[in-house]
Structure formats: structure tokens, C-alpha cells
A and B are shown apart, each in its own frame.
Chain A
Amino acid sequence: MSRATMSRAIVCLLGVAAALALSVNSASANDIYATHCGGVLPDPAPLVYTTDGTVCVAGDVDFVCPGRLGVNLPGADVYAVRTGADPFSGVPIHFDALGGFGSFWDQTVMLPPLAPGLYDLFLDEHCDGIQTADDVLKVGAFLVGGVPMCSMPPGPPVDPGISSGSTCRGACGGDCPSTCSALPPTTACEDDAASCQHVDCTITGMSCGTHEGCRIHDDCYDACAASGGGFWCRRGCDVECLDSYGLPCTSWARGHGPYDGSSSFYNPVSSSGPSSGLCSGPC
């Protein structure tokens, strides 16, 4: 075998090898898949994204889009739309499929923030805005599950975020007085079935003594703060308490009783995760 023949043979073998490699690492002919933009093929199940994710696609086109760049090149328009929507209701993302045999990889089609929901991918092979038998529609191609969120705490917040910065509204005593006691932290697993994820939610807070007089007094102080009332407004609240409830007001001012009940106040729920699967296991 001459050197030239040997060289051609090597080139041919390399080409075959490359083609084989591409066939392993790319979609099959005339197809489209969602990817995580990392050069890895997706699992068979619909790919799941969080709202802060980026949606990419990979696949293969068998046709060319005429007139692009003055030459006909392998390529397509891709549409990502909510499942059930008209494929052409989305914004076309065009790309040229310059890989071997019309393959394309990790073409970005959606940037964060993503709206939660199930999406279809539509490959418009001829870039003509007409759905034909040559095109590819993948229903439910990927899911944006969002970041699973913990439920709201079961009661009022420690810090309601009012202008005065006051906390534990309605508790007897200024803000959250030392007479409040910490609630035992509780952790609960919460599912997000749509994204097949779960989060562990930890609730903390405190329990404080309360009384109608304390609640009215706190409301009065908060109204002062909201209206820009200063010392005399708050002094009026104090006097109103004394004139309604007498001596207990001075005890309430330091967080002591008498109480007519207890109120629980909660910190923002802290979460760990999200983690794959539901609380009960894999989906």
C-alpha cells in the first residue's frame, strides 16, 4: 500500500470513527431533545429544570433552511412552548446544524428565569413556519418545576416588616421580650410533584404571652409609626392602656402577665434542597 493510499485509509477510518462517536454523543436523525447545556444526553424522562436553569437542545436535522446566509445549510427553527400551545406561538430560535450529519448540540433556547410548567419542543425543519410531516414535535419534552418552596409558617412572623421595625406584634412587652420562649424547631418534608423534587422545611419561632390590652397597645404603637407619630402618640397609647386596664399595663410593658393566651411567632422558614424525588421516594 502506497503512503498516499495508506493516508487516505487512515483519514477514512478516522472519519468513520468520528461519525461513530457523533452517533453515540448526539441525537438520532431528525430529532430534538432538551439538555442541561453540558454536552450530555438527557435521561429518557422529561428533563427537569429549576426556574433559574437554562434550557438547551440537541438533535439532528435532515433538511436545510433555504436562503440563510445566502446558502442552504442544514438547520432548523426550534420552538419551546407550553405543552398544548400552538408550536408557532413561541419565538423561533434558529441555528445551523453544522455538526456531522446535521447534528447539533447544546443550542440555547431558553434563559432564566424560566416559567414553571411542562413544555413542548418543535423542530421546524424547513424554517417555513408551517408544520409538516418533516417537522418534529416533542410533547412534554421538558419540565420547569421551579424551586420547590416551603409552605408559609403556620402563624404570624416574628418580624412583620413594619416601618418601626417592631417585632412580635401583640405580644406583651416591647418587641419580642425576654419572657418569650423559643419554639422547638420542627422540620417537615414537602413535595413538589410537578418537578419531582422535595425540600426539607425547618420552622423556628417563639411563643409569647399576649393579652387584649397588649394587642391593642401594639396596634396603637404601630399606628403611631405608620402615621409618623412620635413620642406623644406613643405616650397616648400608654395612657390609653392605663385608663383601660390599670396596673397590669406596667407589667405588660416588661413582658409579664397577666395574659389571656399565648401567641406563636415564626421566623422565615429555612429549607434545605431541593432534592430529587418526592419525600416518599423516587417518582
Chain B
Amino acid sequence: MQRIHTNLGLVGVCWLVACGGGGGSPDAGPVDASRRDAQADAAHDAAGLDASVDGSVDAGFDASFDAGPPPDFTEPAGADTDPFLGGAAASTGVDLSDGTSARFGGTIAAGGGNDTWADSDGYGFHVASETRVQARLSFIASSRIYSVAIHRADRHLVAYWAMSRSGQARTTPMTLPVGDYFVHVAAAPPALAAPEPYMVELVAGSLPGCASAASPGYTEIETAAALDSNDLRTVVLDGMPRITDSAGASEVTGLSVVDATPVAFEGVSGDAPTGADSYLDRDSYRVHTGADVHELEVLLEHISADVNMDVMIFDAADGRLVGTGIAISDSPEHASAMVEPDHDYDVWVGARDERRIGGDTALPLTYQASICGFGASR
């Protein structure tokens, strides 16, 4: 993957602005931030969750990202653009239709945030005619997870959070009817010591999707007798996911994703928890990307009435999270991720533990994950 490493300072000269009040002001309240942090840390520690995975891969990244051309809209200085906690998405004046795109430049502010994010920014846009839209976020790769999602103006989620630590995150293309929307960018807590710039691009057009494979090319070998044999990671959904190593290793599928033609694996999600996280069974599968593949899309399908399955994609080399499909929904689940060609990735599938509200009665459950590859521009 060709990456243009833009000096952070240069980015600042071009379009870096102060972030909106979403960085700090929404948190004002009777519970002070230090206590919240202490509580959160204590809870995480109690659960045996630390940042071992996230922390172990920090050294490999530099503080730069592919900023690309100047943005069409820059986050206004001093405005609270947090659309959820006290502010409002910035009005960009952007109209999207087939074949158009728009770029928004913003900054994750320093010194603010809450238990969910270090900062949160929204950018409003209008869809003038029904079209498929993908949000593409570029940011500084680090141990910090960034997320991007698309909501209707009334906050209804239309493209669930794409989360990544790799410096790029992409939502799965979704068809958006005419209407008002906003794209939402957030970075995981804790508060930043220094602001971090990002660029989010909305691309509209006939973006291809990933079709369901006719049949799986690999079938899971894990059995109910050893449900943790391919866990690989435990994931606590606590705002941004908190990820740590766990027992088990990815099953090597031998599947190679070379283009948009789907390849697939099939597995069974068990009905017993094997880790103290947000999931019951977890299954991981190693796949390889072809020489021209820069983006993966995973289409996870199953037949169930009450099972909420999620997908995460990890770089097999360093364990970093590169993509997520964490919609609260029945089948199917979509996940997209920017990837490097000729590289190994672990596709992680988990059934969210929703027994407390009466879910998961359909487990154990057979699922199929179809995986497609795309070039840099889909």
C-alpha cells in the first residue's frame, strides 16, 4: 500500500484547527473526570483487561498519516461539534450524489473527552439523490482506536462504526436515501496530550459490495470440547473496544482474497462463554490478501432470531485492529478494513453475550463469512 507520510506540522499549517468543544465541555458535570478515569481503570483492571495488545504495537508507527488534498470543509474553531453530548454536527453545506465526494478535516482535541472518547466530531451533509456512500477516515496510527460512522440527522445509525488503529478506517458502503446525515469521527480515550489531525472523506457512487459466497472454502475445526482453541482475542465493548490477547490461535484457512469474488469460511459459534469479555464463543481465521487488494469487506451471515454476531479484522503481523463490524442487528453483519496487499489478516467472529436480555437462545449457530477484496478505490 502506498502511503504518503505527511509531516504532522505541515498538516497543521494546511488545515489544522482547534477542535470543537466536543473535546471537553460535554463532560462537565458533578462527576469529575479523574474519578471517572479511576473507576474505569479499576473496572478494566478487575476484569483482567489491560492494553497489552494495544501497547505492544505502538513502536511500529510514526506520527503521520495520509492527509491528501486539502479538505472541502474544516472543523470550525471553538465550535462544539459533538452531535451526541451537547453539541451539534458542523454544517458543511455538502451535497452528495453519485460520483461526488467531500473531504472534511478535523482534529481530535487534547485534554478533553470522557469514558467513551477523547473527542467526538460530526459533519453534516445532504444526500441529494439516493446513492451508495462510504466514509473513509485517515488518522495517525497509534495504540488509540479511531472510529467513523454515518448517522441520519436524527442520529439513527445508517453505517455502523468502522474502528481501527491502523491509520485508516472505512465504513461499509451503504445506500443512503435522500436526506440529511452526518458523519461522526471519534477517538478512544484517554485524553490526548496533543491534538491529532484527521481527514474524513465521503465517497458516493456505485461502490461495489461483497456478495455471499456460494459455498465455504474452509470449515472451522474448533469443536465444542475446546471452544477457546481459536479465540485469539477477547474484546470488551466499552465505548471503543478494549482488546487483549487470549487463549487460542487463528485457524489457518489457506484462503486468499484476490479480488471482489468472495471466498468464505464457515464456523459454529458456541453457546458457552470462554472469556470475561462481551462475547460468548470467539473464532478466528487467518486469510491472505492478494497483490492488488487494499480493502477487505467481510459479509457475515447466519440464520438466527436472537444472536448478535460481530466481526473484527486484525493485522496478523502485529495484532492491531484494522476493521470492525459491530452493528446491533441480526444477520448479516458487514465489516470493512483497509489492508496491505500480500499480507495476512485474522478475521475474528464473535457472538455477543446478550443472555442477560434473553438473547442467544439460537446458539450454537452456524455462520458463513464471505470475504471480498478491492483495490485502493473500490
At the interface, yes or no: B151 with Cβ under 8 Å from chain A?
Answer: yes
Instruction: Kindly identify which residue among A174, A181, A247 contacts B186, using a CB–CB cutoff of 8 Å.
Output: A247
Q: Is the CB of A258 within 8 A of B114?
A: yes
Residue of B nearest to A229 (CB): B358
Q: Is the CB of B236 within 8 A of A234?
A: no
Main secondary structure on A side of the interface with B: mixed
Q: Is the CB of A248 within 8 A of B39?
A: no
A209-B36, A242-B157, A262-B30 known; A247-B328 Cβ under 8 A: no
Instruction: Kindly identify which residue among A235, A250, A261, A262 contacts B357, using a CB–CB cutoff of 8 Å.
Output: A235
A231 / chain B contacts, CB cutoff of 8 Å: 306, 354, 357-359, 361
- Residue picked from A178, A257, A262, most chain B C-beta under 10 Å: A257
- Residue picked from B116, B120, B151, most chain A C-beta under 10 Å: B116
Q: Within the assembled complex, what's the spacing in Å between the Cα atoms of A248 and B116?
A: 6
Residue of B nearest to A172 (CB): B115
Residue of A nearest to B39 (CB): A179
Q: Is the CB of A257 within 8 A of B116?
A: yes
Q: Is the CB of B239 within 8 A of A248?
A: yes
Q: Is the CB of A235 within 8 A of B356?
A: no
Q: Is the CB of A257 within 8 A of B36?
A: yes
Q: Is the CB of B155 within 8 A of A244?
A: yes
Report the count of interface residues on A (CB-CB < 8 A).
Answer: 32
Against A, the Cβ 8 Å flags (1 = close, 0 = not) of B133-155 are: 00000000000000101010011
Instruction: Kindly identify which residue among B36, B149, B357 contacts A246, using a CB–CB cutoff of 8 Å.
Output: B149
Q: Is the CB of B29 within 8 A of A259?
A: yes
Q: Within the assembled complex, what's the spacing in Å between the Cα atoms of A247 and B328?
A: 12
Task: Write the nearest CB–CB distance from A120 to chain B, whole angstroms.
Answer: 55
At the interface, yes or no: B117 with Cβ under 8 Å from chain A?
Answer: yes
Residue of B nearest to A232 (CB): B306
Q: Within the assembled complex, what's the spacing in Å between the Cα atoms of A156 and B83?
A: 31
Q: Is the CB of B357 within 8 A of A234?
A: yes
Q: Within the assembled complex, what's the spacing in Å between the Cα atoms of A256 and B113?
A: 13
Instruction: Kindly identify which residue among B30, B46, B116, B328 contacts A251, using a CB–CB cutoff of 8 Å.
Output: B116
At the interface, yes or no: B31 with Cβ under 8 Å from chain A?
Answer: yes
Q: Is the CB of B359 within 8 A of A261?
A: no
At the interface, yes or no: A159 with Cβ under 8 Å from chain B?
Answer: no
Report the count of interface residues on B (CB-CB < 8 A).
Answer: 41
Q: Is the CB of A256 within 8 A of B328?
A: no
At the interface, yes or no: B238 with Cβ under 8 Å from chain A?
Answer: yes
Q: Is the CB of A255 within 8 A of B29?
A: no
Q: Is the CB of B306 within 8 A of A256?
A: no
Instruction: Kindly identify which residue among B36, B149, B354, B359 contacts A256, using a CB–CB cutoff of 8 Å.
Output: B36
Task: Write the nearest CB–CB distance from A260 to chain B, whole angstroms.
Answer: 5
At the interface, yes or no: A62 with Cβ under 8 Å from chain B?
Answer: no
Instruction: Kindly identify which residue among B30, B154, B239 contacts A250, using a CB–CB cutoff of 8 Å.
Output: B239
At the interface, yes or no: A254 with Cβ under 8 Å from chain B?
Answer: yes
Task: Write the nearest CB–CB distance from B25 to chain A, whole angstroms.
Answer: 11
Q: Is the CB of A250 within 8 A of B29?
A: no
Instruction: Kindly identify which residue among B83, B114, B359 contacts A235, using a CB–CB cutoff of 8 Å.
Output: B359
Residues of B69-125 whose CB lies within 8 A of A: 83-85, 114-117, 120
Q: Is the CB of B39 within 8 A of A256?
A: yes
A209-B31, A251-B116, A256-B36 known; A230-B46 Cβ under 8 A: no
Residue of B nearest to A181 (CB): B39
At the interface, yes or no: A106 with Cβ under 8 Å from chain B?
Answer: no
Task: Write the nearest CB–CB distance from A257 to chain B, whole angstroms.
Answer: 4
B357 / chain A contacts, CB cutoff of 8 Å: 221, 231, 234-235, 238
At the interface, yes or no: B184 with Cβ under 8 Å from chain A?
Answer: yes
**15 new A-B contacts at CB < 8 Å, known A243-B157, A247-B147:** A178-B43, A209-B31, A231-B357, A238-B328, A246-B84, A247-B117, A247-B186, A248-B84, A248-B239, A253-B237, A256-B40, A256-B43, A257-B36, A258-B27, A258-B85
Query: Could you list some 28 contacts between A and B, CB below 8 A?
Result: A181-B39, A231-B354, A231-B358, A231-B361, A234-B357, A235-B306, A235-B354, A243-B155, A243-B157, A246-B83, A246-B149, A246-B155, A246-B157, A247-B117, A247-B120, A247-B147, A247-B149, A247-B186, A248-B84, A248-B115, A250-B237, A251-B239, A254-B236, A256-B116, A257-B40, A258-B85, A258-B115, A259-B29
Q: Which A positions have Cβ atoms within 8 angstroms of B?
A: 174, 178-179, 181, 209, 221, 230-232, 234-235, 238-239, 242-248, 250-251, 253-262
Q: Lowest 4 CB-CB distances: which A-B pairs, in order? A: A258-B114, A251-B239, A231-B358, A257-B115
